[in-house]
Amino acid sequence: MDKKVTVVGAGNVGATAAQRLAEKGLCDVVLVDIVEGVPQGKSLDLTQAAAIEKHDCNLTGTNGYEDTAGSDIVIITAGIPRKPGMSRDDLISTNAGIMKKVTEQVVKYSPDTTLIVVSNPLDAMCHVAYEVSGFPKNRVMGMAGVLDSARFRAFIAMELNVSIENTHAFVLGGHGDTMVPLPRFSTVAGIPITELMPKDRIDAIVDRTRNGGAEIVGLLKTGSAFYAPASSAVEMAKAILLDKKMILACAVYLEGEYGFKDLFIGVPAKLGKDGVEEVIEINLTDEEKAALKNSADAVEDLKRVLAKLK
């Protein structure tokens, strides 16, 4: 393979991302984790599966970063989940420290790479990676909108009993309960869902989308979603590796777009070989603008917590 992607964090999200990357035949994969044996074991397991899945991607597991040198993309999933009794500030403090250390090592060995951040709280972690890396804004982005839009699409398909391949959806804003699903821009075979179902059903789907992650946590009891988050990060990586010029909702750094500055927030962006190649601005109604402003304010709150840690 002439492309190489590193996945930092060999937990459920990271290991599944490594699997998706390899089985799609996109690149060689390096899986990094601080726990000895885990990335090595999972990479070996995936290598043995390659004989059946029929791909020739090389998978490497490691506890250090030397093997990551020259990565085209680094997907960062490392971090801890929020635990009972843990405040938001505690979570940000812990994961910001992890993100800083990871980013420093990544930059040391792959100074020309592109970063896709998956760790939570996502929008805040994008800011940490951006500041620590010193990378231009087009090479740092967060996976949120792709996942949230996928959830929205799934619920639309379930409601209307149609192929999910016919669905398209946009979810903007921060990754959390302030996210902004946009029914006007969500379609089935080009038909806006506002013409296919009543407002009360749309409102119910929007609410379920906002709580999509919490719903899965509630069902699993001891874990959180990982299949869809991993697929979402890999979709972004694919767009970059193959120079697809795909329009995806991603957390990207804004410098005036949508009226926001110095802020990572989910908006439509064109992804290609140069990372974030263009931010797509769409016309929003006053109600949609207010909802996006509310979401941006929540991200600003996270930034203020980060500032206190410096």
Confidence at 86, pLDDT banded by 50, 70, 90: low
- The predicted structure's pLDDT at residue 84: 63
Equal fold, 4-142 vs 145-309: no
Confidence at 1, pLDDT banded by 50, 70, 90: confident
- The predicted structure's pLDDT at residue 85: 66
More confident call, 177 vs 57: 57
- The predicted structure's pLDDT at residue 88: 67
Range 218-238 average pLDDT: 95
Which tens digit of pLDDT belongs to each residue from 8-33? 999 999 999 999 999 999 999 999 99
User: Is 175 an annotated catalytic residue?
Assistant: yes
- The pTM of the full predicted model, rounded to 2 decimals, is 0.96
Check if the beta carbon of residue 173 is closer than 8 Å to that of residue 265.
yes
Share of the chain above pLDDT 90, in %: 88
**CATH number for the domain formed by residue range(s) 4-142:** 3.40.50.720
Judge whether residue 310 has pLDDT over 80: no
Judge whether residue 132 has pLDDT over 90: yes
Confidence at 309, pLDDT banded by 50, 70, 90: confident
113-141 CB burial, b ≥16 within 10 A, e <16: bbbbbbbbbbbbbbbbbbebbebeebbbb
- The predicted structure's pLDDT at residue 87: 65
Helix spans in the chain (H): 12-23, 38-53, 88-109, 122-133, 145-160, 199-210, 212-220, 227-241, 286-309
Judge whether residue 286 has pLDDT over 70: yes
Phi-psi sector, 134: left (phi>0), alpha (psi -120 to 50), beta? left
Residues in the chain, overall count: 310
Range 112-129 average pLDDT: 96
Domain segments of the chain as ranges:
4-142, 145-309
Task: Report the distance separating Cα 51 and Cα 31, nearest Å.
Answer: 19
Task: Report the distance separating Cα 164 and Cα 230, nearest Å.
Answer: 18
The mean pLDDT of the chain is: 95
Q: Which residues contact 118 (CB under 8 A, 6 or more apart)?
A: 13, 17, 75, 76, 77, 142, 143, 229, 233
Check if the beta carbon of residue 121 is closer than 8 Å to that of residue 88.
yes
Which of the residues 55, 127, 168, 175 is marked catalytic? 175
Judge whether residue 81 has pLDDT over 80: no
- The predicted structure's pLDDT at residue 80: 86
Which tens digit of pLDDT belongs to each residue from 142-178? 998 999 999 999 999 999 999 999 999 989 998 888 9
**CATH number for the domain formed by residue range(s) 145-309:** 3.90.110.10
List the one residue out of 199, 174, 162 whose CA is nearest residue 184.
Answer: 199
